[in-house]
Structure 1
C-alpha cells in the first residue's frame, strides 16, 4: 500500500490522469472531442477558469475562501466594457478593471483580518454588494458594441498559438515558481498549514492574507477582461455561479480547502478539467443544466476524499510521533 504522505506530492499527476481519462472516455463516444482543433479550443476556453483558479489558490492556501469573484468579474467587465464602448483606450479600461479588483480585494482582506469576519460571510456579503453595484452602474442593461480591436485580442495568434493562451501559461509558470521557490511565496502555504506557528516565526499573517485577497480579486478582474474580449458583450448575469466551478477546479487540482496544501499548476489543470466537462456535455448531447450539478457533485466528492485523507495523515503523524517518543524513552532507560 503506497504511503499516504506521497498523496500530496502526486496530486498534479493524478489530476492529469483524470483529464486524460476524461478525453479518452468522451472521445470513445464522440471522436470529434479528441480532435486537435477541439483540444486547442478546450485550452482556449479554459483560460478564464485558469486565471480565476490561480487567484483562488492564493486565498485557499491561507485557509480562507472567497466567493465574491464572480461578481468582481462581472463588475470589472461591465466597467471596462463601458469605457471601451464610449471610446476610451484599452489601457485605461485594463487599469480601471485591475483597480476595481484591488479595492474589492483590499476590503475583503481588511474585513477578514482586521474585523475578524469569517471569510465566507465577508465575501458572500461583498458578492451581493458588487452585484447590485453592477446593476446600478449598467442600469440593468447589457454592455454591447465593444470595439473590434478589443475583441480581436482574444483571437490573436503567435506562431499559430492563441496569444492569450501563451500569456496565461507563462503566468502559471511564473506564479508557480514564486509560490514554490521563493521565501515569501511559501508564506501563503505556511499560514494555512499552521497560522499560530506562522505568527511565532515572524510571518506577517494578516498582511499576507490581505495580499492573497487582493491577488484573487485582481485575477477576477483580469478574467473579466478576458471574458469581455472572448464574448464581445457583458450581460447583467456575467460570472454568476462561476465561483463554485472555480473552487471545485482548485480543489480537484489538489488545493486543500483547509489550507496549506496545493499548487498553481494543479489548480490550472483542475480548471481545464472543469471547462472540458462543460464541452464534453455538448459532445455527449447532455442538457446544459447538468453543468452545475456535476460541478457541485465533484466538489462534494473531492472535499470528502480530501477530508478523509487529511484525517488519516493526521492520525499517522500522531502515531509516528508517539512511536518516536517510545523509542526515545526506551533508549534513555
Structure 2
C-alpha cells in the first residue's frame, strides 16, 4: 500500500494517469483512437515536442527559461535543408544544424551569466534574431524537395516500432539517469532550488547554466532535424509559437518555472498529453479552432488541481511533523518526571 501512496505523490504518476484517462474517454467516443496505429501516430507526432521539452527542462531546472527554441528549430532545419538541396551529405547537414543549435545556446548562456540579462529577455531577443536570420538565409523562400533518403530517416521501423522513437526514448532515459543519479547532473536542480547554497557547496553555477542553454539549443536543433525529416519541407515560419506549447508541456509534466523541481520523464509525458489532446479533438470531430482554447483550459485545470493536491500533501506532512515533535517532547517530559 505504501508503494501506491508514494506513487500517487509523484507528479509524473498523476500526469500519466491523466494521459490514460484521455485515451479511455476518447476511446469510448471513438474506438479508432485506441488502435495501435493511432497510438503510434500520436507518439511519432510527439517526438518533436518531446525533444524540445527535454532541453527546455534542463534550463527550467536552473531557474531560467528558454523562449528561443522555436527560432532555433526553424533556423537549424533551414540550414540542414539548404545543405541537402545543394548536394551536401546528410551527415554534414546534421552536424551543421547541431552546431547552429549549440552556438545559439552558448550565446544565450553567456548573455544570462556574463551580461546578467534576464533569461526571458535574452532568449526572447534571440528568438526574434533567429527568425530574421532564417528569412535572410533562405531569401524568404520555403526549403522544399528534400532528398528522399533524409525523409526516410523518420520513417524507419524495426519490428513495427519507429526507430526514431526508440532512439529518443533511450536518450530520455540516459538524460533522466544523469540528472537524477549523478552528482554533476544534480547540480542543475541544486542551482534552481537554491543558487546561494549551490555556490557555497562549490557548484560552478555559471558554467552549468551555460551548459543548460547549450543543451536546450542542441535539443531544439535536433527537433528541427526531426521536423524537416517528418514534414519534408521548411517554411519561413517553421516552429512559430511552438515555444508556448513546449513550456505548457513542461509545466503539465511537473517542471516548476521557479526552478529546482521536475524531471524529463514528467516533461515527456506532458508533451505527449499536449499532442494527444489535439489528436483527441480530431477523433471527437471538434472544429480545429477550438484546439488552443481547450488545451489551455485543460492545462489550467490540471495545474490548479495538482497545486491543490500538493498543498494538501504539504499540510499533511507538516501536521505529521508537528505531531511527531509534540510526541517527542511529551516523551522527554515523561522521562524527566520518571527520573
TM over 0.5: yes
Q: 1:104 to 1:319 in 2, by over 3 A?
A: farther
Structure 1 residue runs of 5 or longer lacking an equivalent are none
Cα pair distance change 1:104/1:8, threshold 3 Å: farther
**Residues 8 and 254 in structure 1, CA contact (< 8 A), matched pair in contact too:** no
Structure 1 position 298, deviation (Å):
4.0
Deviation at 1:240, TM superposition (A): 0.8
Query: Deviation at 1:317?
Result: 7.8
Aligned residue for 2:287? 287
User: Are the structure 2 counterparts of residues 20 and 305 from structure 1 closer, same or farther at C-alpha, using a change threshold of 3 Å?
Assistant: closer
Q: Which residue of 2 aligns with 1:265?
A: 265
What are the superposed Cα offsets for residues 74-132 of structure 1, whole Å, 9 maximum, x if unpaired? 01001100101111001111111111111111111111111111111111111111111
Residue 138 of structure 2 is matched in structure 1 by 138
SS at match of 1:136: helix
Residue equivalent to 1:110: 110
The corresponding residue for 1:245 is 245
Residue aligning to 2:91 = 91
Contact kept in structure 1, 2:252 and 2:302, CA below 8 Å: yes
Inter-partner Cα distance in structure 2 for 1:15 and 1:281 = 19
User: Per-residue CA shift, 1:245-294, capped at 9, x if unaligned?
Assistant: 11111111111111111111111111111111111111111222222223
Which residue number in structure 1 is paired with residue 170 of structure 2? 170
Q: Which has the larger radius of gyration?
A: 2
C-alpha deviation, 1:299, in angstroms: 4.2
Judged with a 3 Å threshold, the aligned counterparts in structure 2 of structure 1 residues 24 and 40 are, in CA distance, closer, same or farther, namely same
Aligned to 1:35: 35
| Equivalent position of 1:201 in the other structure | 201
2:231 and 2:98 map into 1 onto residues whose CA distance is: 19
Is the counterpart of residue 231 in structure 1 residue 218 in structure 2? no
Q: Decide whether the 8 Å contact of 2:60 with 2:256 is kept in 1.
A: yes
Using the TM superposition, give the Cα deviation of residue 139 of structure 1 relative to its aligned residue in structure 2, in angstroms: 1.3
Greater shift in the superposed pair: 289-298 or 274-283: 289-298
Stretch deviating more after TM superposition (226-235 or 287-296): 287-296
Partners of 2:259 and 2:177 in 1: CA distance: 19
Q: Which runs of 5+ in 2 are unaligned?
A: none
Cα 1:119–1:7, aligned 2, differ >3 Å: closer, same or farther? farther
| Cα distance change on mapping 1:313 and 1:127 into 2, 3 Å | farther
Q: 1:256 to 1:325 in 2, by over 3 A?
A: same
Matches of 2:282 and 2:246, distance apart in 1: 20
TM-score (norm 1): 0.91
Q: Is the 8 A contact 2:66 2:213 kept in 1?
A: yes
CA distance in 1, matches of 2:292, 2:51: 20
Distance of 2:112 and 2:305 partners within structure 1:
28
TM-aligned CA distance change 1:314 to 1:115, over 3 Å: farther
